[in-house]
Structure 1
C-alpha cells in the first residue's frame, strides 16, 4: 500500500485495481445522499466505476509527480471513508490544482474532510510546487462550502454551468473558492 499522506486520524493512500477499492467507490457513488450535489443522487453503474472512475484515480500526473486522487482510510482501523483529490488542472503543471473530497455519510460531521484538505494543502504548497488551489461546489452545498472555508480557502465567485441532467439546486449556480501559496504562507505567520 503506497501511503501518500498521514494525518492524526487519516491515511491517504494510492488507489489500486483491487476489487475492494472498486467496491468501496461503487458503494460511495451509489449513496443518494453522498451524490446529491453531484448528480442528483442517481446511481452510478459498476461498469462506470471500473472503466472511468478507477482509471482516473490510478492516473499519474507528470507535472505534479504523483497521482491526483487518494483513498481515505481511518488511521486506527483502516475503514474506508472516501477519497480526496488534489489534481492539477493542466496535467503537465503543478501551478494550479483542484481540491476535492467525497466521504461516506458515516464520516460526515467529524472533521475528516477539513483535516484531509488541510493536510493536502500543506503538502501542495510545501512539497509539490503548487501556486494556486481551487475548489468548487454547488452554491447550495453548505457543508462542502464550510469545509473549504475551514481549510483556509476563500470565496472567489458564483458561476453557472450547463448540467447534462438537472440537479436540485443547480439553478443557484456553483461557487469557486481559492487559496494561493502567498495567502497560505501569510496565514501561517499569523
Structure 2
C-alpha cells in the first residue's frame, strides 16, 4: 500500500516491519493498555505479528491502521486510521468501518489524536466514500471519548463485552460532514 496522508504536524503512512521496535515500545507500556484489555506486549514478536496482521488488512480491505509519525522529528508516535472490521463481532456489528488510534504515552495531550482523526475522517468520507464509521472506547477513557466527540462522532450507546467491561459505541456519517 502506497498511501500517505499529511497533516500540519503528522505523516500517516502504512505500518512497516521497521516500525516493530517503536510499536513494541508503545505496546509494552501498561499505561497504554489501561483502557484496552490490560495485556501489554512482552516480546517484540507480538508487535511484528500486529504489523503483519495490519499488512494483510491492507491487501484484503485496501485500508488499515497507519504508522503516525511526527514530521518535526521523524518519531513514530503511534498508529491511527480506519479499519474494516470483518474478523469479529463488536456490539453486535461486523463488516463495518472502525476508526481508531493508539499513541505512545509521551505524545498524549498534544492534540495529535484530534489532528490525525480529522485527516482520517476527511479521507474516509471523501476519498473512500465511506457512508458511516464507528468507533468504540472504554467507558472510562475520558480522553479518547473527548477526542471522538470533538471530531464529530455521536455517542450511540454503552455496551458490555464478554468480560462485563463497559464500552462506548460511537458513530459518524458522511452526511454530518
> Contact 1:96 / 1:130 at 8 angstroms: preserved in 2?
no
Residue aligned with 1:58, SS: helix
- RMSD (Å), alpha carbons: 2.0
Larger Rg belongs to: 1
Structure 1 31/77 Cα, relative in aligned 2: closer, same or farther at 3 Å?
A: same
Is 1:74 the counterpart of 2:70? The answer is yes
Residue aligned with 1:67, SS: coil
* Structure 1: segments with no counterpart, 5+ residues: 185-190
Report the Cα distance in structure 2 between the residues aligned to 1:96 and 1:33, rounded to whole angstroms: 28
> Contact 1:61 / 1:68 at 8 angstroms: preserved in 2?
no
Q: Given the two structures, how large is their TM-score scaled by the length of structure 2?
A: 0.87
Report the Cα distance in structure 2 between the residues aligned to 1:90 and 1:162, rounded to whole angstroms: 18
> Contact 1:97 / 1:132 at 8 angstroms: preserved in 2?
yes
Is 1:57 the counterpart of 2:50? The answer is no
What residue is the counterpart of 2:92 in the other structure? none
| 1:32 positional shift | 0.9
What residue is the counterpart of 1:175 in the other structure? 168
What residue is the counterpart of 1:157 in the other structure? 157
User: Which aligned runs of 4 or more in structure 1 are off by greater than 4 angstroms?
Assistant: none
Matches of residues 1-190 of structure 1 in structure 2 within 5 Å? 2=2, 4-18=4-18, 21-40=19-38, 42-51=40-49, 53-59=50-56, 60-63=58-61, 66-90=62-86, 96-163=96-163, 170=165, 173-184=166-177
